[in-house]
């Protein structure tokens, strides 16, 4: 994760309260209102329940202390305010300690539809609701522990696992119907409509395949991987993920389904 950012995170006061100007609350309100309508149709039930449990306001940026009250009660997690982008080392360390990093800034109007780095809307609206779910919480914790112990080279492969689950994961029922659990989709109206359309490939989750699949952060995903239920995340935790990393390294990556770019993962 690059540490270069154009945003400046807002700092909490002595009581843990972050003061956002009204124009930033307005951006939250617009982001929230345009995406919340998609949720009843496309978001998985576990996410929708978590969103209800968190009680997020559609009118103003939430305080992390309020989110922590719910997360600590439901699964022992809390948020951790971070200064925009952080290192892989810090990211894995936080997850291993059941702390979810949240950058305390919100995107500008200029990056309203496409954001190069995660902001508080992406992290809180996209990810935090599912941290109330035991399977998602266990997966996130186990992932952090694996990443913390992994080599720099192995972390590149582990990043693909996170990308195609926590960020851009789908659920596919036996009847073929799709729902979203990945926060990168849930926080993006454009990606929501795209993922539910007929353009991307939807593949069943296979650990080795996921670890071998390149991605880019600046395009709509040409392929998504689907699991059958949120509970399947517990099955992934039981897999020998690092053995999968070694196998993926041995076999090599798939050919990208996108135009090459020097910063492709």
For the chain (265 residues), the mean pLDDT of every run of 10, in chain order, is: 70 91 96 91 96 96 97 96 89 98 92 81 97 98 98 97 98 92 94 94 98 94 97 98 98 92 55
What integer pLDDT is reported at residue 28 of this predicted model? 97
Query: How many alpha carbons fall within 13 Å on the CB side of residue 69?
Result: 9
Find out whether 222 and 258 touch, Cβ atoms under 8 Å. yes
How far apart CA 127 and CA 155 sit, in angstroms, is 21
What integer pLDDT is reported at residue 116 of this predicted model? 73
The pTM for the full model equals 0.93
Task: Please tell me whether 228 is known to bind a ligand.
Answer: no
Task: Please tell me whether 122 is known to bind a ligand.
Answer: yes
Task: Please tell me whether 259 is known to bind a ligand.
Answer: no
What integer pLDDT is reported at residue 2 of this predicted model? 45
What integer pLDDT is reported at residue 16 of this predicted model? 86
Residue among 8, 199, 216, 37 nearest 114 (CA)? 216
Find out whether 98 and 76 touch, Cβ atoms under 8 Å. yes
What integer pLDDT is reported at residue 173 of this predicted model? 86
Catalytic residues: 122, 127, 167, 187
Residue among 49, 47, 213 nearest 136 (CA)? 47
How far apart CA 30 and CA 41 sit, in angstroms, is 19
Q: Per CATH, the architecture of 22-251 is what?
A: Orthogonal Bundle (1.10)
What integer pLDDT is reported at residue 114 of this predicted model? 67
What integer pLDDT is reported at residue 83 of this predicted model? 83
């Amino acid at each position: 994760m690059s540490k270069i950012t154009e945003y400046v995170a807002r700092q909490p006061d002595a009581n843990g309260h972050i003061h956002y100007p009204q124009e930033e609350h307005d951006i939250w309100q617009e982001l929230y209102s345009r995406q919340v309508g998609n949720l009843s149709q496309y978001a998985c039930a576990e996410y929708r329940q978590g969103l209800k449990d968190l009680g997020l306001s559609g009118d103003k940026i939430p305080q992390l202390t309020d989110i922590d009250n719910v997360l600590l009660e439901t699964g022992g997690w809390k948020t951790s305010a971070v200064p925009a982008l952080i290192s892989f080392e810090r990211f894995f360390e936080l997850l291993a300690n059941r702390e979810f990093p949240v950058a305390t800034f919100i995107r500008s109007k200029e990056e309203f539809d496409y954001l190069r780095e995660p902001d508080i809307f992406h992290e809180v609206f996209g990810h935090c609701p599912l941290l109330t779910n035991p399977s998602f919480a266990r997966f996130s914790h186990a992932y952090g522990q694996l990443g913390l112990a992994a080599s720099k080279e192995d972390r590149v492969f582990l990043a693909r696992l996170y990308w195609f689950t926590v960020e851009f994961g789908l659920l596919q029922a036996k009847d073929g119907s799709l729902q979203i659990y990945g926060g990168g989709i849930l926080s993006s109206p454009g990606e929501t409509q795209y993922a539910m359309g007929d353009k991307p490939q939807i593949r069943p989750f296979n650990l080795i395949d996921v670890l071998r699949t390149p991605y880019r952060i600046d395009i709509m995903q040409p392929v998504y991987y689907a699991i059958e239920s949120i509970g399947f995340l517990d099955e992934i935790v039981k897999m020998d993920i690092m053995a999968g990393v070694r196998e993926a390294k041995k076999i090599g990556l798939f050919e990208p389904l996108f135009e090459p770019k020097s910063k492709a993962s």
